[in-house]
Amino acid sequence: MTPVFDVQTRRENSCTVIRVSGELDMAVAPRLRAAIDQVMEAPGRPCLVMDLTRVPFCDSVGLGILVSTLTRVRDSRGRLVLVLEPGMIIHLLTITNLDRHFETYGSVQEAFGAFDAAA
């Protein structure tokens, strides 16, 4: 059974974690886009961790949101990290050659470890 789509946002250290659950498709894309817009409205350089470990499916609209978010974060001189488990999204990024553009980790803890290492 596919989990109901949900987006949760929380602040952790100086970053925002957006945890997404359920299928990411055109029907639910506006909800994710609204959560990202809210994060991007905050002053300063964005530090965004998107936890997609509970997303079993992502269509082209969902992929478009990820790409546009990466562009917005880079334009603001911020940092975007995707948290992914092996599966559909990693495959999608690989076959579209987007895996070279996104910074990815297997857990939120690993993502924060990378932030700490860069500081």
pLDDT digits (tens, 9 = 90+) for 30-76: 999 999 999 999 888 999 999 999 999 999 999 999 999 999 999 99
Longest C-alpha distance within the chain, in Å? 41
Confidence of residue 116 (pLDDT cuts 50, 70, 90): confident
pLDDT the model gives residue 115? 76
Residue closest to 63 by CA, chosen among 39, 34, 31, 90: 90
**Overall fold of domain 6-39+46-118:** Transcription Regulator spoIIAA (3.30.750)
Q: Which residue has the higher pLDDT, 118 or 75?
A: 75
- Whole-angstrom Cα distance, residue 39 to residue 54? 20
Q: Which pLDDT score is estimated for 83?
A: 98
CA distance 116 to 99: 22
Return the pLDDT at 4.
Answer: 87
pLDDT at 114: 84
Confidence (pLDDT) at 41: 92
For the chain, what are the domain ranges?
Answer: 6-39+46-118
